[in-house]
Homo-oligomer: A and B are copies of this chain.
Amino acid sequence: MSELKVGLAGLGTVGAGVVRMLERQKAALAARTGRDIRIVAVAARDRNKDRGLDLSGVRWFEDPVALAVDPEIDVFVELMGGAGDPAKAAVAAALDAGKAVVTANKALLAHCGAELAARAEAAGATLRFEAAVAGGIPIIKTLREALAGNRISRVSGILNGTCNYILTRMADEKLSFDTCLAEAQRLGYAEADPTFDIDGFDTAHKLSLLTSLAFGMRVDAESIYVEGIRSLTLADLEAADDLGYRVKLLGVAVRTDEGIEQRVHPTMVPKHWPIAQVSGVTNAVAVDGDAVALTLVGPGAGGDATASAVVGDLADIASGSGGYAFGAPAQSLAVAERAPMQHHEGGYYIRLSAVNKPGTAATIARRMAERGISLESIVQHRPARNNGDAPATVILITYATTEADVRDAVAAIDADGVIASVPQVIRIEKD
Contacts and interface: CB of A to CB of B under 8 A. Distances in A.
A319 interface: yes
Contacts of A216: 28, 31
Interface string A319-331: 1111110011100
A172 to B, nearest CB: 12
Nearest to A304: B291
Nearest to A18: B149
Contacts of A33: 148, 323
A308 B136 contact: no
Contacts of A146: 130, 138, 141, 309, 312
Interface residues of A, number: 60
A294 B141 CA distance: 14
A332 B293 CA distance: 36
Contacts of A24: 151
B295 A298 contact: yes
Contacts of A320: 320-322
Contacts of A277: 272, 274, 277
A299 interface: yes
A25 interface: yes
Contacts of A137: 294
A32 interface: yes
A144 B329 CA distance: 26
Given A33-B323, A149-B29, A316-B145, A293 B298 contact: yes
A352 interface: no
A292 interface: yes
Contacts of A323: 32-33, 319, 321
A321 B315 CA distance: 12
A291 B312 contact: no
A142 interface: yes
7 contacts: A29-B149, A31-B327, A32-B323, A32-B324, A272-B277, A274-B274, A321-B323
Closest 6 CB pairs of A and B: A149-B311, A138-B146, A136-B292, A291-B304, A148-B315, A291-B308
